Each structure stands twice: as C-alpha cells, then as structure tokens.
Structure 1
Amino acid sequence: MSSALYHTGLLPVLRAGSVWGTSGVFQVLTYHRVNDEADPFFPAVRTAVFEEHMAYVARTYRVLTVEEAHEGVRRRMLPRGALAITFDDGYRDNLTHAAPILARYGLPATVFVATGFVGGAEVPWFDRLALAFKETREQAITTAWGDTFALTTVQERLDALARVITYFKRLPDDHMRREADRLLGALGVTGRGRFKNLMLNWDDVHALTGLGFSIGAHTVNHPILSRVCAERAWTEIIGSRTMIRAACGRLPKAFAYPNGYAGDYTETVKHMVREAGFSCAVTSRFGLNTLRTPAFELRRGGPWEEHLPTFAVKLAAYRLAGLRGARRAA
C-alpha cells in the first residue's frame, strides 16, 4: 500500500490532505543513534537508511530546529511543511554518522544532551544493562523481584532486557539504580570502563554547534523526573542548563523530558522547566504541534521505518492524524 502511494504519485495527495500545505503546524522526529554496528542490544538507524530518509525530508519538508519551529508557531510565522529533527541523550554517533548527512542536505537539528554523560566514563543505566545482558555468561537469571529469565539465546536475552527496562522505569529512581547495580552484579558485567567513546564530549558538542545544530538539555543523569523528589528534579533540570551554558557559552532554549511519556513528568516538573528559563520542552508523546499545543508539552515521534515509501507515507499520515486530533481537542 505504501509503495503504491509513493510510486504512483498519490503521496502528494496524501500530503495535501495531511495539511502539508498548512502553516502553523509542525512535526518533530525523534532519533537516538545512527550507525552501522547492527547490534540488536544497541539499536540504531543505519546510516544508509538515515541518509535516504533525510534526502526525502530535505526535498519535501521545511526543516527547522525545534526551537525555531516553536517560536515560529508562537509568532504565527511558521512556514508550510515545517518539521524538526531531534536526537536524545547525546551519543557520539550523532556527530560522526548523523551530522555529516544532515550537513550534506543543509538540515538543522537539535541534540538533547544528558550533561552528566558528556565527556565522562558514565553512560545511561540502560546501556550498562544492555551490555550486561549481551555479554553475561549466565544462562538464566532470577531477579530480586522474583522473575526468572532464560538467557541461552540472543532473543531470550533481548526479551529479558526489554522486560527489565520496562520494570525499572516504573520504580523510584534511587530504588531503580540500586536494583540495576544488583542485577549487573548478578550478571557479572558492570559495564564500567567499557563505553569510552559512546557519548559526546564537550569538543564534540562544540563541533555540532559549528555545523548548525542546536543543543538542548536532557537533565544531568537522565532520571525519569516523576520518579524523583522535587529537589532532585530541580537540580537535574537547572544543572543541565547551567552545564551547557558553561561549556558552550550560550543558554539552551529547549528541554527534553527523559523517557517523556505521560506520567514521566508532572505539572510541577513542567513548571520547574519554565522557571529554569527554557522556552519549550518536548515529550515522547505522539502528535502534531499547533498553536494550541502547550509549549512545555510538545509532541514528537517516529516513524523509524527502513523502507522509504513506508517512512514517507507514515510521515504524511501521522501529520493528518495529528491535525485531526488537534481539531477534536479544540
């Protein structure tokens, strides 16, 4: 179906129906990693796929940074077909693999960095877990909460990893980190010292700004902000903003909530982000952004389809679905 729409020339009709030609609306794409490692424990968009998609986006949409898109819709000066590209967490392949492609097509993007991981030995807890489930010699593991997972095949390990991460994300952050360390010990792979070049360093961040990227804040240590106390949430929010200003000489305007789904941030957290001086914040909640979208609850999403026709059709269809949802909410 998607191939037929793409190759028969019907896609422009869908784009027209999806308000491609309407000003005052914008989509935001979310990425994390772009590389050719083909490691199922560390999923990434392949560079050839990313380039194909970005070539399509460049000739079809008007790409802005998320900060520019938000300002444009607020001032009612947003161009038609507006779309923003974002990356979360601050992986180094954003510079080595994604940035050259984006620069080739003249596309800006926003990279949301968790500042505590920039240039240091620490990495997100879920990456340490991924390495542990990948490399453990254990053939089965029983967790502290009573679940038992077989670990004899790659698929069993991937399934166990996904279930553990889902479980951990529901826990208070301090509790989660204790449980994660305990599980890493049981698996016999702590992951410390194994991720030298996984994350950006501050020189890399400067290089990205020189290529036209904007840098947004994503907390210091990437806790889910509804899982920490108010004092810790404020420290994470303002701390990331302060570190970016100190390193880059400019204040970040945009913030991204870690995980970012409903329940991962609260009204209090949104107020803190505003009080810290940010002009907007992005979530992981699907949708199209319009003048009615709250500035501190901007919508983002995929598609992350490898097949270009499917990517193109879904991008237009998601735009249409988002506009219809916005109209119903009005």
Structure 2
Amino acid sequence: MPPRESGYVEMPGKPMPSWTLLPSRALLNLCSPGGSRGRLTILIYHRVLPQPDALFPGESHAENFDHQMGQLANCFKIIPLLDAVRGLRQGKLPPRAACITFDDGYADNAEIALPILQKHGIPATFFVSTGFLDGGRMWNDTVIELIRRAPGDALDLTQIGLGQLEIGMLPQRRRAINNVLDALKYLPLESRRLRVEEMCALIPVIPSRNLMMTSDQVRLLHNAGMEIGGHTVNHPILARMENNAAAYAEIANGKDILESIIHAPVRLFAYPNGKPGRDYMVDHAKMVREIGFDAAVSTAHGAARAGSDLYQLPRFTPWDRGAARFMLRMAQNMLKPIDTV
C-alpha cells in the first residue's frame, strides 16, 4: 500500500467506454435509487501528482485522476457534501449520489486536482490540517522523502529502534517506507515527532517544504466554490491523545484557523486516519458536534443512507484499474454495513 495516512487509490487507466455507461447507471440506480432509499458514496483522496510515481505507482496522478473524474461524472450525481448531508437528513438524496473529498491539505490539490475538477464541473471538499500550511510537512511525508532519497543500498536505523533497512531496489525502498510508517504511526504525537527528528539527523537528505498548501491556496479553493473542512491542527490520532482536552483543542483550533483564512464558516470535519474505534472514539464524535460542525466523515467503508450518523459518515475509494470492475466495486460498497463507534 502507498504511504498515505488512510486510503489507497489505484485509478482506472482509461475512461469508461460509452457502451458501458447505461448498464453501469442501471446497476447504480438499483443500489442507490434516491429519496429515502438513497445511498451516499463519499470518495476519499489525498494527493494528485503531476506524473506517475515510480516508487508508488498506485498513487493518483493527473492523467488517471482526470479519467476517473470523467467516469464518475458520467455515472454518478456528484454533489457538494453539505448538500448531501441535508439530503440525508431530509431523505431527499438524488439517485446515484456521490461526493468527492480530499484529506490533509496537499498543494497539488490546488495546483493539479482543482483544474481537473473544474473541467468536469465537479464540486469537492478539502479537509485541511492547518499546522502544515505555509511551508510545513506531515511526519509521514518526511519519512517518505528521507527513505526515497537516502543514498546507498542499506539504511541503518538500529540506534533509534527501526532496524537495518534494505533500500537497493524500488520494492525494497517501498517496503522500508511502509515498515517505518507502521512502526511510528500509533506512537504518541511527541514521541513520533522526536523519532522523525532522529531520522532527519541520521539521513543526509533535506525534504521538500512545498508539499502542503499555502493559506492563499486554501482561499483559492474556497473562492472556486469548493468546500473547506476541518482536519485538526497537527493531524494526531485522536484516540491516542493524552486527554480529551487536548483532542478538543486540536479539533476546535483547526476550525478557527481555517475560518480566519477563508472568512466563512467551516461546517465539515474529517477524523485523522479515521478508523472508528481505533483512531477516534465516541467522545470525539461528541466533541465535533459540540464545536459546531454539521457533519463528519470517517474512513470506514460503506455508503451512508437515511438514518446514518451524520458525524460518522463512511468514505471509500475502490482500487481497481479496470473501469467495469471499478463500478462493480462502487456498487458493492453501497451494500456494506457501516462501522461506527
């Protein structure tokens, strides 16, 4: 799997042939007929690269993201997430309802994804962790860039408890990155930060400082009619924080900072990492409601329906490259039970 905090996308490589559109729509209509029987498919993305990444070939990039947006626009009714929340509440979803969301706040969301979304007339919601704006970098991207660009065929991290890593070939580098991410992911926030700093001291690489959005890019998305959502300040795993007060501050402060940037209410939230019962708990869903968000999304698979918890809406992205299997996976996802806390 690629090293995103959650989710994995292998995009279909070619647009869906026109002769498959009617059967695909018919299948999706059966699964999501609209109204009180409607199903809401919410797709989750992170980065959209300008070109394919040889180290992580499954990562989405401009060409295949463009293909998939065209396919989705042909087969689904893609609506803003706030409109979908109102539809769920009122039992008035359109048939084949879908929403597009992005997590974390990568600069390529504004530089590459936005023009493609505009080309297809697709609205989207961008969940932004404010602590990385204007030159910051997420811990996992630091790890990725350190190991991606580390010299030699082996990397000795035994002195910081991460072992000896083989990196001579691309599959070995990929495996090394995933192993380190897995080892650090659920550490307390401060412990994880210190471990990454130790890696920076050991590996002679200076990671990029332009991966994340600027405040101006957040405003650009907002002014283009896209929704901006909260995603905390520092992207902690809320369930691993030392106390509820610290978690509350992360959620509330992130909202306040975004509202000061766009001068508009921020009404949607995405739980960092997002797995119910593992990454966030009931208390965190209550906090999100108390702080004033209208709805929140997880990373549990499934499709929301009338009566779903608006503060634990599921999200999903299928991983099939073939267009037909992609649509079949989308339909199957609509029938899955939804995990919540």
Fold agreement, TM-score > 0.5: yes
Residue 124 (1) aligns with residue 138 (2): yes
Residue 145 (1) aligns with residue 158 (2): no
In 2, distance between residues paired with 1:15 and 1:272?
Answer: 35
Residue 96 (1) aligns with residue 111 (2): yes
Letter in 1 for 2:24: L
In 1, distance between residues paired with 2:222 and 2:204?
Answer: 39
Please state how far the C-alpha of 1:209 moved relative to its aligned partner: 1.6
Please state how far the C-alpha of 1:189 moved relative to its aligned partner: 2.8
RMSD: 2.5
Deviates more, 1:125-134 or 1:222-231: 222-231
Decide whether the 8 Å contact of 1:128 with 1:190 is kept in 2.
no
In 1, distance between residues paired with 2:66 and 2:327?
Answer: 13
Q: 1:237 aligns with which of 247, 251, 256?
A: 251
Residue 30 (1) aligns with residue 44 (2): yes
Q: 1:111 aligns with which of 126, 147, 156?
A: 126
In 1, distance between residues paired with 2:321 and 2:263?
Answer: 37
Please state how far the C-alpha of 1:306 moved relative to its aligned partner: 3.6
In 1, distance between residues paired with 2:181 and 2:256?
Answer: 29
Residue 63 (1) aligns with residue 78 (2): yes
In 2, distance between residues paired with 1:27 and 1:8?
Answer: 18
Query: Could you list the runs of 5+ residues in structure 1 that have no partner in the other structure?
Result: none
Q: What are the residue-to-residue correspondences of 1:218-237 with 2, within 5 Å? A: 218-229=231-242, 230-237=244-251
Task: Give the 3 Å change call, closer, same or farther, for CA 291–62 of structure 1 in structure 2.
Answer: same
Q: State how many pairs are aligned.
A: 320
SS class of match (1:152)? coil
User: Residues 128-177 of structure 1: CA distance to partner in whole angstroms, max 9, x if unpaired?
Assistant: 11000011125232343353321222211110110111121122222121
Query: Could you list the runs of 5+ residues in structure 2 that have no partner in the other structure?
Result: 1-11
In 2, distance between residues paired with 1:231 and 1:65?
Answer: 31
Decide whether the 8 Å contact of 1:41 with 1:131 is kept in 2.
no
Task: Give the 3 Å change call, closer, same or farther, for CA 126–135 of structure 1 in structure 2.
Answer: same
SS class of match (1:130)? helix
In 1, distance between residues paired with 2:96 and 2:52?
Answer: 32
Please state how far the C-alpha of 1:21 moved relative to its aligned partner: 5.1
Please state how far the C-alpha of 1:287 moved relative to its aligned partner: 0.8
Residue 175 (1) aligns with residue 191 (2): yes
Partner of 1:162 in structure 2?
178
Q: 1:189 aligns with which of 200, 205, 217?
A: 205
In 1, distance between residues paired with 2:206 and 2:247?
Answer: 26
Please state how far the C-alpha of 1:12 moved relative to its aligned partner: 4.0
Deviates more, 1:42-51 or 1:229-238: 42-51
Task: Give the 3 Å change call, closer, same or farther, for CA 46–247 of structure 1 in structure 2.
Answer: same
In 2, distance between residues paired with 1:272 and 1:132?
Answer: 36
Please state how far the C-alpha of 1:9 moved relative to its aligned partner: 5.9
In 1, distance between residues paired with 2:85 and 2:322?
Answer: 29
In 2, distance between residues paired with 1:142 and 1:236?
Answer: 31
In 1, distance between residues paired with 2:87 and 2:145?
Answer: 42
Question: Identity across aligned pairs (percent)?
Answer: 30
